[in-house]
Amino acid sequence: MYDEIVEIAENKAYLNAVRNETYGPNLDLLRRFPAYSSLADYENELRQQDKLTFSQIFHEPIGYYLLKCFLIADYSVDKAVFISDCELFKKMRDPSARLKLAKLIFERFVADDGAKYPMGESVFERRRKRRALGQRNTLTDGLSDPDEGSLNKLSLQIGKTNAIGVYGKAVNDARERLAKGDAPKTLFDEIAQEVLNDLRLDVFPRFSNSEFFEKYIRAKSLERIEVTHKDFTMLRVLGRGAFGAVTACVKNDTGKLYAAKCIDKRRVMATDAVDSIMSERNLLAMMDSNFVCCLKYAVQDNDTLYLMLDLMMGGDLKYHLNKEVVFSETRSRFHAAEILLGLEHLHSKSIIYRDVKLENVLLDEKGHCRISDLGLAVLTKGRVKGYAGTPGYTAPEVIVMQPYDKACDFFSYGVMVYRFLSGKKPFGPHTGSTDLDKNVLNAEVEYSDEYFSSTAKSLLQGLLQKDPTQRLGVRGIDEIKQHPWFDSVDWGLLEAGYLSPPFVPKLDEVNAESMRHMGRSTNDEKYRKVRLTDEFQKSLSNFPFKSYHALQREIVEVLERADEGVNFEKFAPKPPAPEPDVKPRSTGCCSLQ
């Protein structure tokens, strides 16, 4: 009874935090900004390190936000938004989707009637908001063409204005290519270069002499503050692992929510697992993807190591599949596509993941997927040998202890997609044995027409090839991305985060098991008796970590909350007073000068 009451209380605290009813961007942080007058040495240090250039500031979260604020005051924010949209446009891979977005970008920023749009509005953000109002059947629906008539009227006559102030040959060339249905990734390069030159040579010097720049220096100076375990408050336990619990937590100074992977030092010492823990910490610190849980902070106290990761409020895919039995093909495709992008990021870092499974894929509050838990991942340029993984998912070459490479992840990935579509294990006990690894080696996979379309079957037959040299993806991950089952996916838009998931988790419930069902390790008492040595503590001296990008994002969220409703135009420089119109007294004659 007591445990039930405790769980109810912790669930309520957690849900309130998720809904920003208890926590959220903490405006008290603004009081911690040092006075600009006290930061002269810090500013000089940044200048000496070339960290106050236009490119550096423009691509930092705090810098980009405050540059946009300055540009709003300067009535030219569309220039920064245009550059950001162009950077996303260049990542798009689907030619038809790229053509549609190219027309929208042209109409929004380059056409002479671009001023009809709200200032500072991104084409991508506008499309995402409109698509969010109604779900689509494919991953490229919702990208409708702009009014063709308006494209035919894109004459850049003298006296006409557009949102970015660029005219001439570069604009005419882009317009002509669009009229022919041609939208290469380089379409806006010349126009973007002119805008960048204007931002760098005209806008940036004025920004550097503004109060927005002073605010940038003040906010950035918080990067110097050490982050410790005392900066976090623990909330609800979300799960348990081999070395301890995963707990939702809040960073006190900014109000940002994270998931804390709590690692019991006594277990680490007793199992001689320092190298394993440091390996996971180092691999997580390498992550920079929206499809992998990334390390934000690593802190410790006397008894526990804490890895602070993205809080995925939607729960794991095993939890959701158990509730729903099967996923629709549309939902399966969306999850599979995002997971594949996560694997692509890992493989690009020379990492073999080795533990693709339902439990290790988490959903955020919007329904996007991230791969979690790099405990079994290995960094290697070549092949490795040794069993690692989860029975039923593990590739045949891993089971028989042959040297293997990244292709083993594609086999496990295939098992997971099979489970999405059918709700069944392809190598479960029904295939001949309770030994799942034995089934992987010997059993043939069944593909019922009830669950698998022809393209889904083709994909899975390629992924579940027992011979790794014949497996789909062995010649590169693009081989999987180009499979017909993924034809409706625009990988560029998906990677940029501008496609809406077909499933959004409910945030009025805890998307995790009951804490009472998680249990505790039977070895808790045994490890409690372990005495930590000074030598062991020293071996963890390199454990602490701080992501400056994560910290900057937290600060931007606080600034955004503080700036809600602010009219930045009031900061615009005042125009010079006009010369007094004093007419000289007429002399009754005129002079030619």
Binding site for ATP: what residues are annotated? 261
- Cα separation, 76 vs 217, in Å, equals 22
- Sole residue written with tokens 């602010």: 566
Crossing angle of helices 548-562 and 211-220, in 10° steps, is 130
- How many angstroms separate the CA atoms of 266 and 169, rounded? 68
Is the dihedral angle over the CA atoms 473, 477, 482, 483 positive or is it negative? positive
Residue 504, classed as helix, strand or coil, is: coil
User: Quick one: which H or E segment has residue 237?
Assistant: strand 232-240
Query: Does residue 563 carry a catalytic annotation?
Result: no
At residue 310, φ and ψ (nearest 5 deg) are -55, 130
Please answer whether residues 364 and 312 qualify as being in contact, where contact means their C-beta atoms are separated by less than 8 angstroms.
Answer: yes
- Point out the catalytic residue in the list 94, 112, 264, 355: 355
> What CA–CA distances, in Å, run from 346 to 25, 36, 370?
31, 41, 12
Between 61-73 and 211-220, two packed helices, what is the crossing angle to 10 degrees? Answer: 160
Known binding-site residue numbers: 261
The angle, 0 to 180 degrees and rounded to 10, between the axes of the packed helices 77-89 and 123-132 is 70
CB 273 within 8 A of CB 543: no
Q: Are 543 and 281 in contact (CB under 8 A)?
A: yes
φ, ψ of residue 374 in degrees (nearest 5): -100, 25
Q: How far apart are the first and last CA of the chain?
A: 100
∠ Cα 512 337 361 (to 5°)? 25
Do residues 250 and 235 lie in contact, with contact meaning Cβ atoms separated by under 8 Å? yes
Q: Which residues are catalytic?
A: 355
